[in-house]
Amino acid sequence: MTQNPLLQQWNTPFEIPPFDQIENTHFAPAFDEAFVRARAAIDVIAGNPAPATFENTIEAMEQAEELLERVAGVFFNLAGADTNDELEALQRDLSPKFAAFSAETLMNGSLYARVKALFDVKEDLGLTAEQKRVLELYHRMFVRAGAALAPDAGERLKEIMQRLATLGTAFSQNVLADEKSWEMTLEADDLAGLPDSLIAAAAQAAKERGKDGYVITLSRSLIVPFLQFSTRRDLREVAFKAWVARGENGGQSDNLEAVAETLKLRRERAALLGYDSFAAFKLENEMAKTPEAVRELLMAVWEPAKEAADRDAQKLTELLREDGVNDDLAPWDWRHYAAILQKAEHDLDEAELKPYLQLDNMIEASFDVAGKLFGLSFKELDAPLYHPDARAWEVLKEGRHVGVFIGDYFARTSKRSGAWCSSFRSQSKLGGDVRPVIVNVCNFAKAPEGEVALLTFDDARTLFHEFGHALHALMSDVTYNFISGTSVSRDFVELPSQLYEHWLSEPEVLSKHARHADTGEAMPQDLLERLLAAENFDQGFSTVEYTASALVDLDFHAGEAPVDPMVAQAETLERLGMPAAITMRHATPHFQHVFSGDGYSSGYYSYMWSEVMDADAFTAFKEAGDIFDPDTAAKLAEHIYTAGGSKDAAELYTAFRGSLPKVEALLKGRGLA
């Protein structure tokens, strides 16, 4: 045990996990020891004969799971970003164990009694505003976890939570299995229409899979440009159908039964806790508060978005006919003909744009913006990381260490799809100044060896988005880990990330960092103008595919659990009048936001809720006449990026902007007003 690096002090730069020493076999014994220590610490707190105080109860709980959080931080990041059969097996074993530990802690009657005793007299304890907020959140967490339930109901809730944890892990692993197993090999005559950058990426994907020639995988950075550029309609159809069938292919990786059981158990969980629906339970503590408020927002956007999409569909159908195709416009046609239409209307195509969007330059652009807004600087570190593609930087402010940022940008078979921000360690001050170690994980196409990695504009936007999350975690300045960084309501957490995207589209940023991969020349002014003019191109499509997913998620959880989720999905889409040539951004069998855990369940709408705010928030800089206005940036840092969950989300936003915005800001921003 003493040789296990996960259980030792980490004598590494800034206590980055010692990845070069950690082996798969270290995790199981480390978790065993961490669970023992955590349970012992919780037992001491619950059994303390002294009256409850904030220090001996809340602060003690903050520190009780320190080792468990450290080991879990390493393990679950690897399980998402660089997994293998051993880690996947351990993850399946750990999921119910974590659920059981959480349940036994949060349903510990003695522990809850201490928390409740403090909560009942919170006004008399002389707490700081932050301490009072933490106490209120702890009490709420215990109640919502079932601490106040009768014993029989509490035991049933424990069973439900363990089963949901198992189902969520299986769901995620099934999607990854389908993504890893599918590929489409292309011969030379299958490359028609593909730009050189995509051909090179397909060659690299083939090489990584031990094949010659060219391969298209289900990585978004390969499949989307293939659907845009390929003139082979038959191959586009094959690729698209494989992409949307993830989790719905029958056999061991099929997710349909898991989805049905998950929805049924969530409904039972909500009922045990006294709620009419899982959505009502889940949304109670979000900014939206109710399913009705969410539906009002989504429907306010749905109608103008659908009208725009229907208009665009007519234009795309005309282009389809010009190609001699007499079929109806299909989902595997939309991106292809939209790219042609964009070229016709804005004289813009990705092949012309992509050479100016080098990955390294876009990373530098995201750092540069953080420097101008918040005074941060980034110094690349030479430290062992968990994969050769990962890179690390020390983050500084006025020479002071702020934290460590890790970027892991390229797609691979050991990484789940999508893009996300996570932490190996969160910021806190209790017991010492703990600085964060934050990671961004993306799935960009890797360039062949010796060539620079190029991004699409959507890729670059994703990079800025995830870095906005990273800044939220890195800049956090609170005492308690419980409210650190991104520990905020789900429909507020996307505000710092989506707001940060705005700077990518600013001429001041692009003119400096968008430079041609071969010549080093800045993006020409006319190309920059065409890019910005086309920014809202095809917004009907993107808004419809997103909003449909959010409404299906809401319908799943706003009433009784559907017996057949796919039938329920179809009914929602039919009621909405979903355009035939557009599919949900995330169909149910691979809707990982909603079914790989319950983080975004009933909450996929939150990106749009946050977008209402981010559209309004960036306007503050425009009103100041400077996208880097120091006073506005200082308020943004104080009330949004450093504040964590120290106050209610609406209070934080109002402190920054003066009032909460209306949906019109979003419609205007998307060109749908």
Positions annotated as catalytic residues are 466
Q: For residue 223, give the nearest of 336, 319, 328 by alpha carbon.
A: 336
For 652, residues 6+ apart whose C-beta sits below 8 A from its C-beta are 492, 639, 640, 643, 646
- On whether the CB atoms of residues 127 and 54 are closer than 8 A, the answer is yes
For 53, residues 6+ apart whose C-beta sits below 8 A from its C-beta are 118
For 400, residues 6+ apart whose C-beta sits below 8 A from its C-beta are none
CA torsion, ordered 652, 657, 662, 666, to nearest 10 deg: -100
Q: 378 in the Ramachandran plot: left (φ > 0), alpha (ψ -120 to 50) or beta? A: beta
Report the distance separating Cα 593 and Cα 603, nearest Å. 9
> Scanning the structure block, which residue is given the tokens 């009072």?
132
- On whether the CB atoms of residues 195 and 229 are closer than 8 A, the answer is yes
Task: For residue 515, give the DSSP letter.
Answer: B
- On whether the CB atoms of residues 300 and 663 are closer than 8 A, the answer is yes
Handedness of CA 89, 92, 95, 96 (dihedral sign): negative
Q: How far is the CA of 449 from the CAs of 233, 363, 413, 517, in angstroms?
A: 31, 19, 18, 15
* CA max distance for the chain: 82
For 7, residues 6+ apart whose C-beta sits below 8 A from its C-beta are 1, 30, 33, 67
